[in-house]
Amino acid sequence: MIKFASVNGEIVPAEGASIGVTDLGLLRGYGMFDFLLILNGQPLFVEDYLDRFWRSAHQLKLKVPLDRDQLMAHIQQLIEANGLDNASMRLVLTGGYASDGYSPSEKANLIIIEHEYPTYTPDKYEKGIKLLLHEYQRQFPTIKTTNYVVGILMQEELQKAGADDLLFHHGGLITETTRANFFIVLPGDRIVTAGDGILEGITRKHTLMLARKHYQVEERQPALEELKTATEAFITSSTKRVMPVVQVSDVVIGNGQPGPVSKHLLELLKEAEAAYLKNDVRVS
């Protein structure tokens, strides 16, 4: 059980942590968030996540109620209060309280929650996962808004199809999954992934930095028909790292097995994580 959460800068028991019912995130979906891993009690790549958090806030015209140093210190305080070596952390920022149910307040609401550390059975990495194509374009692709209605509504269909997530496409081009970035590997080990019209994942960023040292990388939305010629496919996300994809709807990718490029990138990413953690970014 997670013991504590944070609401507007105060650490409170997670059990009763609550937000008033006139919150605009609740009433109007006017909210955004970010989500990162805590490893060995340290927030992984936290600078990148905070950069994106401020970027999303700016795009939604919201003001983060703490400055960056305060937020970093507060995150560390919550990690210490909960005392979990490994966990994940969600930072949510909403339009604040609106007595008329519509107009954003000057004062945004900031909620920080820790979740259990997300684990995936090893066979997901050994066997790879399946995605289900779904025609959809996120409304504000570059902002990490709280709108996940499509993904949640389609969970039954995913289960029926034995698929792990939806893969969004629009106009014949592939963008991203519900909660991850998507990559294909074309013959000659050319890695292709959408460069715009997506949420720019932090794991995507680190994976691309590593990939460029070893492979040719093309940032453009892959065409649907390229799935048939891809030798590999994979997704990246904070919790899944580099997860091989072996099937997209009816299309089997490559030989239907996780391929060497995605395995290599997962290794490189784990090394990068370990190197980051050795530098210990704890706020003193």
Residues that bind a second copy (CB under 8 A): 5, 7, 16-31, 33, 60-61, 90, 92, 94-95, 99-104, 111, 113, 115-116, 139-140, 145-150, 152-153, 155-156
H or E element in which residue 139 lies: none
Residue 281 dihedral angles phi and psi, to the nearest 5°: -95, 15
* Residue closer to a second copy, measured from CB, 21 or 275: 21
Q: Which CB sits closer to a second copy, 31 or 258?
A: 31
Least distance to a second copy, CB of residue 230, Å: 28
Nearer to a second copy, 240 or 254 (CB): 240
What is the b/e burial string over 91-119, where b = at least 16 CB atoms within 10 angstroms of the residue's CB?
bbbbbbbbeeeeebbeebbbbbbbeeeee
**Shortest distance, position 185 Cβ to a second copy, whole Å:** 28
Contact 19, 26 (CB under 8 A): yes
Minimum gap (Å) between residue 113 Cβ and a second copy: 6
Q: Name which of 145 and 181 has its Cβ closer to a second copy.
A: 145
Strand order in the sheet with 4-7: 10-13, 4-7, 109-116, 87-94, 31-39, 42-43
What are the beta bridge partners of residue 132? Answer: 166
Question: Which CB atom, from 26 or from 251, has the smaller least distance to a second copy?
Answer: 26
Q: Is 73 or 150 the residue whose CB approaches a second copy more closely? A: 150
Whose Cβ is closer to a second copy: residue 5's or residue 266's? 5
The total number of residues written for the chain in this structure = 284
Q: Least distance from C-beta 251 to a second copy, angstroms?
A: 26
Phi and psi angles of residue 154, each rounded to the nearest 5 degrees, phi first: -90, 5
Please give the C-alpha separations between residue 276 and each of 148, 180, 185, 213, 270, in angstroms, as whole numbers: 30, 22, 27, 18, 10
Q: Which of 98, 272 has the CB closer to a second copy? A: 98
Q: Which amino acid is at 246?
A: V
Query: DSSP state, 145?
Result: B
- The string of DSSP codes covering 44-83 is TTHHHHHHHHHHHHHHTT---SS-HHHHHHHHHHHHHHHT
Q: How far is the CB of 156 from a second copy (least distance, A)?
A: 7
Smallest distance from the beta carbon of 136 to a second copy, in angstroms? 8
What is the secondary structure of 211-246 as a DSSP string?
HTTTSEEEESPPBGGGGGT-SEEEEEETTTEEEEEE
Report, in Å, the least distance between residue 196 CB and a second copy. Answer: 18
Query: Please, what is the minimum distance in Å from the beta carbon of residue 2 to a second copy?
Result: 8
